Amino acid sequence: MMLVEQTTVPSAALPVAEFKDHLRLGTGFADDGVQDSVLESYLRASIAAIEARTGKVLITRSFGWTLTCWRELAQQTLPVAPVESITEVKLIDREGVETIVDGATYRLVRDSQRPRIAAIALHLPTIPSHGSVEISFDAGFGPAWDDLPADLGQAVFLLAAHYYENRAAMVSGERAMPFGVSLLIDRYRSVRLFGEGAR
């Protein structure tokens, strides 16, 4: 299984000005924007860390997920949530020949924890022997920062501020999640039961 992020969070969606306010940085100076790229990098690092911990995509973007077999014939749990849409399903044989699957044969089952692709009929399309299937989909709470639940947005700010204020620890490789951030994101973490989930 391989999950590839096909688009990145656009800079315009990152709340750099709000993060400056959160850090209580001074404003009104000629060099106000000199730290913007640094602050943006900490926001991106914070978003990536929280997404990795929760399995939730914060800002909407496109992904491609490649599998060599289905976990279940009738449905397959997707690796992240929330999923907005499945844009394409493509079968790839051992020679690399691609076949687009008819969108009328499957549907997206929306779920805040375990979104799934499900067959309309009895089973999902058969994956070629020694081949794979590639599912393209869009996932995230929305394209803008304001689409995020408030507690997740606050967690991003707290973690980014922690990175900003502990730059030496970041360089040395320390990646501990602050307790306050963990409290905010814990309810968003996916729980896998009885071995269910992506394969």
Average pLDDT over every residue of 167-174: 60
Look at residues 98, 99, 118, 100 and name the one whose alpha carbon lies nearest to residue 108: 118
Question: In sequence order, what are the beta bridge partners of 75?
Answer: 118
Domain ranges for the chain, please list them. 2-58+143-188, 61-139
pLDDT in tens, 74-91: 999 999 999 999 999 999
User: How confident is the prediction for the chain on average, in pLDDT?
Assistant: 89
Average pLDDT over every residue of 26-55: 82
CATH of domain 2-58+143-188: 1.10.3230
pTM over 0.75: yes
For the chain, percent of residues with pLDDT exceeding 70? 87
